[in-house]
Structure formats: C-alpha cells, structure tokens
Structure 1
Amino acid sequence: MPINDEVFARMDELSPAERKVARALLAAWPTAGTESAASLARTAGTSTPTVLRLASRLGFGSWPEFQARVRDEIADHLNSPLRRSQEGIALGDGGTLGRAIADRVALVESLGTSVPPSEFDRAVAVLADRPKQVALLGGYFSRYFAMVLAAQLDQILPNVDFVAEPLGHDVGRFLQLGKGGVVVVMDFRRHELVAQQAAAAAKRQGATVLLITDTSLSPVVESADIVLPVTVDGIPFDSMTPLLVLIEALVEGVLRAAGPRGLERMRQWEESVRITRASRAAHAEEDVRDDTGPREVGAGNVEALALPGTGGAL
C-alpha cells in the first residue's frame, strides 16, 4: 500500500500530535515526505520526535528510510503507463458540459481519499452528542455553505447559530462558546486571518473546533480538533460541489446518530413552520379583502374615480 494511503487509513490510530503530522504530510504529499523531519515538524506545529514516532508507527526504522520509500513511490508514479494513459484521456475531446460534469464527479469521488473516515465519524459524533452550542462560520464564499449547514443542522439540533462576524457584530454570541460547545469553521484557500483568530479564541474558551478546509489545509489546523479536507480544484474558481456533498453527508450522519431526538426536533420544527405559514396565509387573505373592498365601484360613486380635469367624466 502506498505510504499516503496507509497514513490516511490509519488516521484513527494516531495520537493528536501524530495526527497533526499526518495532516501536514497528506496536505503537501509527496513533497512533504521528502523534507527533513524538523521541517515537517515545524509545518505541522509539533516536534521532531513526533515525526519520528509516526515514521516508526508506519514500520520505518528511521526518517531517511521513510524518505527513500517516498522517493521510490514518486519514481514509480512518474513512470506509470496507467498515469500517462489517464492524462491522455483527460486531454481528449469532449464538450464543455461533459468535461465539467466529469471533473465534478471526480471531485466528489475524491472525498473518499481526502476525508479520513475516522475524522468524519468523529465530526458526526461531536455534533450529535448534545453540544451546548454549535456555531458555524465561513469565508468569502464558504460562508454561504456554512449558512446551509447551519440551516439544516438547526432542524435536527438545538442551539445552532451561523455567526457572520465572530470577532465583530456577533462577538457576543461567539463568546458564549465554551466547554461542550462546537465551532465549525469553513476556511478555503486564500485562507482568512479572521477564521484563524476565531478558531483560536474558541479553542481557548474550551470549545471543540471542527475545520472544513481544502487539501492545502487552512492555518486553522493549529487549533482544530477535527479536520475534514476537501479537494476543490476548479476553473476559473474553486468547485464547491464536493463541499456540498460533504455537508449533506454530515447532516445525514448527524440525523442518524441523533436518532429519535433528531426526528422529534424535526417534527417540532415542521409544526412551527406549518403554523407560521398558516398564519401568514390568513393575514394575507385579510389584507386582500381589505385592499379590494374600497375599490368596488358602484353607480353611486363613479364620480369619485373621475380623473382630474375631466369634469367628473371618465
């Protein structure tokens, strides 16, 4: 099994510090595997001994032995007939729509290799385990997807908030986060400083930090307890298709994990919406009657509708 696949598959076996190294390794694979142990440790925000422990856990006697294996895998990949064939197919003819669909299908399928199942399961468990508060925030584009996730989780869980300005207008709600709370941060490349600062603040307050980011990894990883990396390559902008699929998978997972509690919350939510809609419909009907009543024109009030300057004639 290739090293990166093994690291991905064994993510749940790693200690929190080793998991940071693994994330840094996978985020810049295979280049990160050719760096010195000290350099990788700096990138991951851990120590050189932690990097060496990860290599040992993977069955390597030393870091140079690990690096040699990485270089061998790079050489094998570059010389692979399969790789060359796949690239040739990718460059073949095809309509723009067809290529766009194929590219996005591939991005969705890449979730299977970018998101460690153990990390996804931890994310579902944390959200479904009666958190005191769930706060969601995002960046320039990803904030809209954070709003979608917040709106859907709100139908399953209590105390869910989208926080537009965690260090500004919404700082009061954000400061409520503490032990037992969860903050979901979406931060994609051109990573934003406010996301990093907000995550660090939530971490200091004792909240669990769940990061959803691109595979180059946001600096928020320094504060994150759980990281779900998504491949978003696209032209001309990053494709958010796999992010939306991940959101839907999270919501489905949380509903299944919450069980009867989640279903009861949905029932209450639907009932409230039904009552609200019925009330609005009734008010709208009254408004229509009020508006149309005075406009009825009979023989006795035709002159009241005469246009100015017509002497009373229509």
Structure 2
Amino acid sequence: MLVRDLVEKHRAEFTTAERRLIPFLKDDSLVIELQSITKLAEAAEVSTPTVIRLARKLGFDGFPALQGAIRAELAERIKQPLAKLEAPMAESGADHLINRFAEKVVQNLGQTIGQLNLADFAAAATLLSSFDRPVYLIGGRITQPVAAYFANQLANVRPRVTLMSSSRSAWPQTVMDLDDRTVLIIFDIRRYEKKMERLAEFAVSQGVQIILLTDQWGSPIEKIAHHCFRAMVEAPSSWDSTLALNFLVETFVAQVQREAADASAERIRRMEHVIGATEIF
C-alpha cells in the first residue's frame, strides 16, 4: 500500500499529536519537510518520538524506512519514459516481449480488481445511470483517447454525454455550463497534468461530481474527487499501459446499461434505426 493509504487505514489509531503529521505525509508539496526527522517534527510542531511512533504504527521499523518508502513512491510517480527502458532481454520463449507484456497486463488487471471498492463503483455507476445528469469526460496527453472511447461507448447507452477538448482554450464555453447536476469524468495518470487539477478545482467549486480514473499512485485530484478508481499502469515499455483503465471503462458502461436497462435498450433501438437509415454499414 502507498504511504497515504496506510495513513488512512490507521487514522483512527493516531493520537492528536500524530494527526498533525498527516498533511506532511499526504501532500506532495510538503515533502521537502521530510529531509530529516527534526525538520518534519518542527514543521508539524510535534516531538521526534511522535514521528517515530507514527512510522511504527504504519508498519515501518522507524522514520528512515518511512522516509525511504515515500521517496521511492515519488520517484516512481515522476519517472520519465526514457527511465523506464529495460536492459535488452532474449527475444525467445518466456522472455519474449509479448509474453512479458501479457503477463504484466494480467497482473495489472488482477491488482486493479483487487483494490476496487465495490461500494464506490456502485455509487459512481448510479451517478452515470441518472440520465438527467449531463456527463462530461476529459483525458490528458496519453489518456484522451481512453476518455474518447468511454464517451463513445457511454453515448450508446445514455444521452447527454460530451467529450471535452484537451485544449484549455476550448474550455470556457464548456465549463460555464457545469453545475451541481453535472458529472465530470477525469483521466489523469503520471506525469499528472496541472491543467487537469485546475479544471477539477473549478468544477468542484461549481458543485460538479467528479469521477477520477488514475494510476496506482493516485493523481493529486484524488483530494477533491468524489469517486476515485486506481488502475495499474506499469508495463515493460517506456510508456504506461492503459489496458486496466479500459477494463474499468467497459465495466462502467456495462453496469450503466444494466441499471438503466429499459431506457438504454430504447436508446439502442433508436440508434440502430438511425444507423440503418443513414446506411453507415
């Protein structure tokens, strides 16, 4: 588990003094305070023994182990594509890239399913099944195609679905229509895009419900999202894999169609009629 997740898991066990350390363990902008146990204690206005006790409650031997875990997480989250290149391996048998990639994809799917909160999934699907709520979707540099696929599939089973442009210059005429009936689906994986965080902050100020699909480390948008789903994205490549994200997308579409079966069926019938009339196929 990530340190921030361990903090949430053990929050009820913390003393008042230990709770003062929580912001410094969950906010990346404060991570500079982790340079030493003394600086962290001073910044949080607690004693160094308090820091040590908290580290042990989280399952670490002491502060250095906690500090090392946080630094390792940050290093993974900001890893650039070239840093992910692996040393050459034999291209035969089990070492073939196809086999290694397939093995990693299966592992990603298993871990994504294993950490999925079913109650949260059901709540988010219910939001998407409310056809009176307009749904907007947007992705980043790598995930915009995934957002487009989600928008296309979702529009097959429900109305009022809009894919937002990834260009900020096109946002004003869209965001001005966001209100407390709106659902905004955001895709944000490392390296997290600041514009997505700004958009999310504005949307929340308008009362918008945000569904975030992110990676295993968690976008900064997690702090304000109403529903958050992490997908495993590691792959034997310079680039992260979006296959687990697509798994979540297709599962959501299936659940929406199931919850709004009659309305979705009627929409699909009408769509088939339009397709036939336009002789697309």
Give the TM-score of the pair, scaled to structure 2: 0.70
Counterparts of 2:97 and 2:258, CA distance in 1: 38
Contact 1:163/1:174 (8 A) holds in 2: no
Pairs within 5 Å for 1:103-252: 103-165=104-166, 167-234=168-235, 235-252=237-254
Number of residues paired by the alignment? 221
Counterparts of 1:172 and 1:122, CA distance in 2: 29
The aligned residue for residue 76 of structure 2 is none
Seen in structure 2, the aligned counterparts of structure 1 residues 37 and 121 have a Cα distance that, compared at 3 Å, is: same
Moved more, 112-121 or 240-249: 112-121
Contact 1:28/1:216 (8 A) holds in 2: no
AA partner of residue 140 (structure 1): R
Q: Shift in Å at residue 202 of structure 1?
A: 1.1
1:61-81, Cα deviation, whole Å (9 max, x unpaired): xx9478346237x9xxxxxxx
Structure 2 gaps of 5+ residues are 28-51, 66-92
Percent of residue pairs bearing the same amino acid type:
22
Counterparts of 1:102 and 1:243, CA distance in 2: 17
Contact 1:27/1:216 (8 A) holds in 2: no
The aligned residue for residue 73 of structure 2 is none
Seen in structure 2, the aligned counterparts of structure 1 residues 211 and 43 have a Cα distance that, compared at 3 Å, is: farther
1:281-310, Cα deviation, whole Å (9 max, x unpaired): 8xxxxxxxxxxxxxxxxxxxxxxxxxxxxx
Seen in structure 2, the aligned counterparts of structure 1 residues 26 and 126 have a Cα distance that, compared at 3 Å, is: farther
Structure 1 gaps of 5+ residues are 5-21, 46-62, 75-91, 282-314
Deviant stretches of 4+, over 6 Å: 27-30
Partner SS, residue 211 of structure 2: strand
1:33-87, Cα deviation, whole Å (9 max, x unpaired): 99x6433334547xxxxxxxxxxxxxxxxx9478346237x9xxxxxxxxxxxxx
Seen in structure 2, the aligned counterparts of structure 1 residues 95 and 184 have a Cα distance that, compared at 3 Å, is: same
Q: Does 1:41 align with 2:23?
A: yes
Partner SS, residue 183 of structure 1: strand
Contact 2:137/2:185 (8 A) holds in 1: yes
Q: Shift in Å at residue 152 of structure 1?
A: 0.5
AA partner of residue 243 (structure 2): T
**277, 280, 285: which is aligned to 2:279?**
277
Q: Shift in Å at residue 271 of structure 1?
A: 1.6
Partner SS, residue 95 of structure 2: coil
The aligned residue for residue 71 of structure 1 is 60
The aligned residue for residue 89 of structure 2 is none
Counterparts of 1:26 and 1:272, CA distance in 2: 52
- The CA RMSD measured in Å over matched residues stands at 3.1
